[in-house]
Homo-oligomer: A and B are copies of this chain.
């Protein structure tokens, strides 16, 4: 069975690598981080044995356990045993190519999505992030070290926000919100590239513009895979009836949901813009081709008849009276000039240049 699982993962990895420049981190030790907090107190712990994990926090405290690196399967197995995580849930945590989704289990809510980075050379990289929300704890699993949550950590440390007053569900909201916000910078860069391509094409359309448009289309294909399922996943969280989310916090998840709808809408808008871009490219190429054809036709149409006339008087018949006329040559030159001018006039009238 292991064999087929690996095969399945391989197939998906293949697809995603085709669309992104995903860098799979080599297997090293996972990093464990524990934060216990309530309205009045907060403590930070690093790399403590899992057995002592929950003992570290008081009962009225919310605990946030963050794991960096998914290759240390031993660590994750231990955590899953500790928190009684379902076999299928762990599988989804480890499968870094899994789509965003929310899933309810008996005593926790599972949520997984992608963190997106734009890396050098304008390609997208992603990180697989999963959350497990329990009664008063939140587990977060990140594929790679380093994250965008430092801001949140420092907010937790200072006790000025409402973040310390609310439970693990509000923390989950803040984490998801940070990630969704990061999508907007991807969106923005897409917008900038569309404008750049538009400028290029209106100056001079080259095959490079086409390749750029193709690249954008691939990115839309990838983003659709990553962003669209998020809507349904968030909807599932909001509609959830098991009470994992407190009623007063639902408004916040609705707000993230709103942002995701907005993101999808903006992606669709950009997709439409890209398709008008494609048309613009095609039309420009086509227009230039027409110009080329017109030039060919103008030149050919003017000179082929003239050459014919020259050809006629280049014939070697003995009896060609025109050849002996004193001004024959000038007459013919005149006639040629007249034809030339008539042609030019005709093409001007037809607005060929």
Report the separation of the CA atoms of residues A207 and B205 in the bound assembly, to the nearest whole angstrom: 14
Binary B-proximity of A1-32 (CB < 8 A = 1, otherwise 0)? 10111011011101100110000000000000
Cβ of A158 within 8 Å of any chain B Cβ, yes or no, is no
**Copies of the chain in the assembly:** 5
Select from chain B the residue with minimum beta-carbon distance to A326.
B319
Whether B313 contacts A316 by the Cβ 8 Å rule is: yes
Distance to closest chain B CB from A335 (angstroms): 12
Q: Which residues of B contact A155 (CB under 8 A)?
A: 1
Contact pattern, A 302-338, Cβ under 8 Å of B = 1, otherwise 0? 0111111011111111111011111111001100100
Docked pose: A306 CA to B286 CA in angstroms: 29
A292 contacts across to B, CB distance below 8 A: 290, 293-294, 297, 352
Is A55 in contact with chain B by the CB < 8 A criterion?
Answer: no
Interface residues of A (CB under 8 A from B): 1, 3-5, 7-8, 10-12, 14-15, 18-19, 86, 88, 98-99, 101, 151, 155, 178, 181-182, 184-185, 187-188, 191-192, 194-195, 204, 207, 210, 214, 217-218, 221, 225, 251-252, 255, 258-259, 262, 265-266, 269-270, 272-273, 276, 278-280, 283, 285-290, 292-297, 299-301, 303-308, 310-320, 322-329, 332-333, 336, 351-352
Per a CB cutoff under 8 Å, which of B88, B210, B269 touches A283? B210
Closest CB in chain B relative to A95 CB, distance in Å = 10
Q: What chain B residues lie within 8 Å of A178 (beta carbons)?
A: 1, 4
Q: Is the CB of A320 within 8 A of B315?
A: no
Please list 15 pairs of residues, one from A and one from B, whose beta carbons are closer than 8 Å in the complex, sorted by A's number: A7-B181, A8-B181, A11-B191, A14-B188, A14-B191, A88-B251, A98-B262, A221-B272, A295-B297, A304-B307, A307-B311, A313-B317, A316-B320, A317-B322, A318-B328
Nearest CB to that of A277 among chain B residues? Answer: B214
Query: Is A293 in contact with B295, judged by CB distance below 8 angstroms?
Result: no
Q: Which residues of B contact A101 (CB under 8 A)?
A: 258
Among B5, B10, B317, the residue within 8 A (CB) of A332 is B317
